[in-house]
Amino acid sequence: MTCQQLAITAFGDVNNLQLQSAETPVPEGRQVLVGVSFAGVNPIDAKTRAGLGWAAQQNQDKLPWVPGYDMSGVILAVGEEVTQWTVGQHVCGFVGFPLAGGCYSEQVLADAETLSAVPETVSLAHAAALPLAGQTALQALEKASVKPGERVLILAGAGGVGHLAVQLAKAKGAVVLATCSADNLEFLSALGAEAIDYRAQALNTGMKPVDVLIDLVGGEAGIEAQACVKPGGRVVTVPTITAEAVNASAKMAGLHAQGMLVSPSVAQNDLMLAMMAKGELKLHISEHFNLEAGAQAHRQIETGRTRGKIVLVMKG
Ligand SMILES: NC(=O)c1ccc[n+]([C@@H]2O[C@H](COP(=O)([O-])OP(=O)(O)OC[C@H]3O[C@@H](n4cnc5c(N)ncnc54)[C@H](OP(=O)(O)O)[C@@H]3O)[C@@H](O)[C@H]2O)c1
């Protein structure tokens, strides 16, 4: 048996994403074979394809390499030590992060402990889009120790991580402000944020200072937004490539600043799936792409203008 995958054949542009055929793996021990229904597409996938970042460095001698860190699907087979899963169950997970990847594939092996059951009322597409972005959002808010009543400013509130962070911060009882372009003002207001068009005016014009800045843009935008944070306030900057510069500037301004690298957590994934099932967390998917159209999906994520999430559709 074989399965179709989309692999990075060389670092560079989207043409280096190529379909390949692979032997269907056989799960052993604590492993589970998942027939993938949907895979999430995240900015790190495109950065790695371009040859940027740690995952690219580590995998440069392992090309072709199959990207993708989150997926949903149906259990096709389990290893002999797996007791908590059975064939046919719907699961999702944040797997292979950051070294192995592998979710842009019709079938993927995952450790039994890394998976979550998908509640009946959550679609498999939404379940695939949640893990990496949702856990990043939750961990950023936890790193910032957001408390009820605090004012939290989220840069890039309309993106994959941002639109979830807005809702999770609201759920923590924070007053949420979030930046976006004019097209996304209504989208963010509907999620409960005070939406601010970052192109219309300087961010701190007339803004009451915030306790916490969650920076999902990085670079100059992350540095400029520090003017909105009260003295002694907290900054978490999420894009890793500019974290050092953003942190250095925040520290100069007397703010508590840190970068982060998301760390897979099944407990957090379960928590957010339960919130989605109860309608307390809404995940927005703006576009679905077939596996064959993976290059288009990468072009879209590289625009930096995606509203919510995009997913790849599989035949696993
Ligand atoms: N450190 C980690 O562990 C970790 C984990 C996950 C993600 N990340 C990084 O975090 C960043 C966000 O990830 P993501 O998945 O949310 O990305 P994404 O979905 O591609 O973000 C797209 C959004 O960014 C907004 N945006 C672009 N430029 C903006 C600006 N100057 N000000 C405000 N909003 C702006 C766009 O809104 P408009 O169209 O309205 O402008 C769009 O909705 C990426 O750099 C990603 O690589 C890091």
Ligand 1 nearest-atom number relative to CA 139: 3
133-259 CATH choice from 3.40.718.10, 3.40.50.720, 3.40.50.2300, 3.30.230.10:
3.40.50.720
Q: How far is the CA of 86 from the centre of ligand 1 (A)?
A: 37
What pLDDT is attached to residue 316? Answer: 63
Distance between CA atoms of residues 30 and 39, nearest Å: 22
Q: Strands of 24-166 (E only): list them.
A: 31-41, 70-78, 90-94, 107-111, 115-117, 151-155
Domain limits, CATH 3.40.50.720, in the chain: 133-259
Measured from the CB, is residue 115 less than 6 Å from ligand 1?
no
Query: pLDDT digit of tens for each residue in the chain (316 aa)?
Result: 999 999 999 999 999 999 999 999 999 999 999 999 999 999 999 999 999 999 999 999 999 999 999 999 999 999 999 999 999 999 999 999 999 999 999 999 999 999 999 999 999 999 999 999 999 999 999 999 999 999 999 999 999 999 999 999 999 999 999 999 999 999 999 999 999 999 998 898 889 999 999 999 999 999 999 999 999 999 999 999 999 999 999 999 999 999 999 999 999 999 999 999 999 999 999 999 999 999 999 999 999 999 999 999 997 6
Please provide residue 107's backbone torsions phi and psi, each rounded to the nearest 5 degrees.
Answer: -140, 140
CATH (one of 3.40.50.1000, 3.90.180.10, 3.40.50.1820, 3.40.800.20) for 2-130+283-313: 3.90.180.10
- How many angstroms does the Cα of residue 161 sit away from the middle of ligand 1? 7
The DSSP symbol for 65 reads: B
Residue carrying the six token digits 């696993």: 316
Give bridge partners of residue 3 from the DSSP assignment: 22
Residue 93 carries which side chain, given as an amino acid letter? G
Range list for CATH 3.90.180.10 in the chain: 2-130+283-313
Task: Determine if ligand 1 sits within 6 Å of the CB of residue 6.
Answer: no
Cα radius of gyration (the chain):
19
Report the amino acid identity of residue 285: I
